Structure formats: structure tokens, C-alpha cells
């Protein structure tokens, strides 16, 4: 699997934040997979995409492109 376009996963995830900000990481990974036309029933692939989503969101947070956390 190639996510060669830099920031593609983070872009997909953040585009869905405005639609539904309550999704968990697995739901976000499934949205990424659906947008890329990947088989969401493939458990191994889904786990890989979950890992990539976590990495992308943490990277966006470190670069201050995204604020992750709960409101007080």
C-alpha cells in the first residue's frame, strides 16, 4: 500500500472532523480505507491503516496543524 502523497491520511482524517468529531481511530481508519477504495474487511490491512492514521494525527499535532484532546 502506498500513501505516497505526503499528509494524505491526515488530510482525510481532518476532513471528517467537521462532519463527525466523535469518531474513534478505527472508524477514522475505515473512512481512510473507503476513500482510497481499499477492502475494509481485510483485518491486517485495517490494522496497518490504523497505525498510519495514529502516526499521521500525531505528526499533525506535533506540527501544530491539529489540536487533539478533550475540551475542559
Per-residue pLDDT of the chain (72 residues; tens, 9 = 90+): 555 566 777 777 777 666 666 778 888 888 888 888 989 999 999 999 899 888 887 777 777 655 555 444
Report the C-alpha gap between 9 and 52 in whole angstroms.
Answer: 8
Q: 41 by DSSP, 3-state: which?
A: coil
Report the C-alpha gap between 58 and 66 in whole angstroms.
Answer: 9
Q: Could you tell me the residue ranges of all domains in the chain?
A: 8-62
> Cell 475505515 maps to which residue?
30
Amino acid at each position: 500500500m502506498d500513501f505516497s502523497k505526503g499528509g494524505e491520511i491526515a488530510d482525510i482524517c481532518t476532513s471528517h472532523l467537521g462532519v463527525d468529531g466523535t469518531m474513534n481511530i478505527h472508524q477514522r481508519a475505515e473512512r481512510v480505507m473507503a476513500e482510497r477504495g481499499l477492502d475494509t474487511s481485510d483485518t491486517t490491512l485495517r490494522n496497518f491503516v490504523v497505525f498510519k492514521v495514529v502516526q499521521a494525527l500525531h505528526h499533525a499535532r506535533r506540527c501544530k496543524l491539529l489540536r487533539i484532546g478533550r475540551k475542559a
